[in-house]
Amino acid sequence: MCFVGWCCLTPMVYAQFNENPILNKENQDKRFLNYGYFLGLNQYDFKFDYNEDNGPQDTDILVSKSFGFNVGLIGEMRINEFLDLRFEPGLHYTQRTLGFPGFEGDENPLRNGVREVKSTYINFPLLLKVSAKRFGNWKPFLIGGGSASLNLGSNETSLDDNASGTFRMTKWVYNYELGFGIDFYLEYFKFTPSIRGVFALTDELVRDDDPNSPWTGNIEGMRSRGLFINFTFE
């Protein structure tokens, strides 16, 4: 079965990378506006900064990561042969589990050291795509820019805090994004796999009412970091 799959895939790969291929979608990038959509996976993390040295590393807040998904639309405006301005509004769902130190043996289920953070971001990135020259039916590129994300699961306005079992984050967060990918020009559409890192610029933590809270009292800043693997169809 693997041999049959390889035999089917090899001609497609060769068609993209041989020296004199039949050019697909030859005028795709000459249009002033292009549209498409993307699907993908994400994995979000948190970066914590502390108000003071909190001792051994095993007293740091631990983050358990999982894979989420991305889906969204693409609008692209051509600047010249090598530069495009892109707007990629999308929905990103992710979940992280935080482990706070110092709660061992506490039997109160609300006063424990574990918080599940489920986030649904609506992301609004404005990006500059810098492409190399097209080689047959493929073209590598770099992409980067800024974005604003609306966290629908932030709990920012909740009157409860961690003492009641509610972990709160800011509703809006601002990021910068950097990545790379390859455009593949197929017979009927352009297919683009890409990898991108997303890094929050703003502190996302809403602190507990108690300034000495064991959950938030020692945190100076909490910022998301994310890795996206997207597959684009245009």
Q: Across residues 3-9, what is the average pLDDT?
A: 45
Q: Tens digit of pLDDT for each residue in 157-211?
A: 999 888 888 999 999 999 999 999 999 999 899 999 999 999 999 999 999 999 9
Query: Is the pLDDT reported for residue 104 higher than 90?
Result: no
The stretch 91-115 carries a mean pLDDT of 79
- Mind listing the domains of the chain with CATH numbers? 34-233 (2.40.160.20)
Does pTM surpass 0.85?
no
Q: Above 90 in pLDDT, residue 227?
A: yes
Q: Residue 134, SS3?
A: coil
- 61 Cβ partners below 8 Å, 6+ apart? 46, 48, 98, 99, 100, 101, 219
Tokens 């933590």 — which residue?
205
**Strand spans (E) along 80-218:** 83-87, 90-99, 114-131, 138-151, 172-185, 190-200
pLDDT at 6: 45
CA atoms within 13 A on the CB side of 30: 3
* 105 pLDDT higher than 80: no
**Strand pairing class (67-78; 114-131):** unpaired
Residue that is written with structure tokens 């009641």 in the block: 164
Residue 58, pLDDT above cutoff 60: no
When pLDDT is averaged across residues 58-87 and rounded to a whole number, the result is: 92
Q: Per mean pLDDT, which range of 18-22, 73-77, 113-117 is the poorest?
A: 18-22
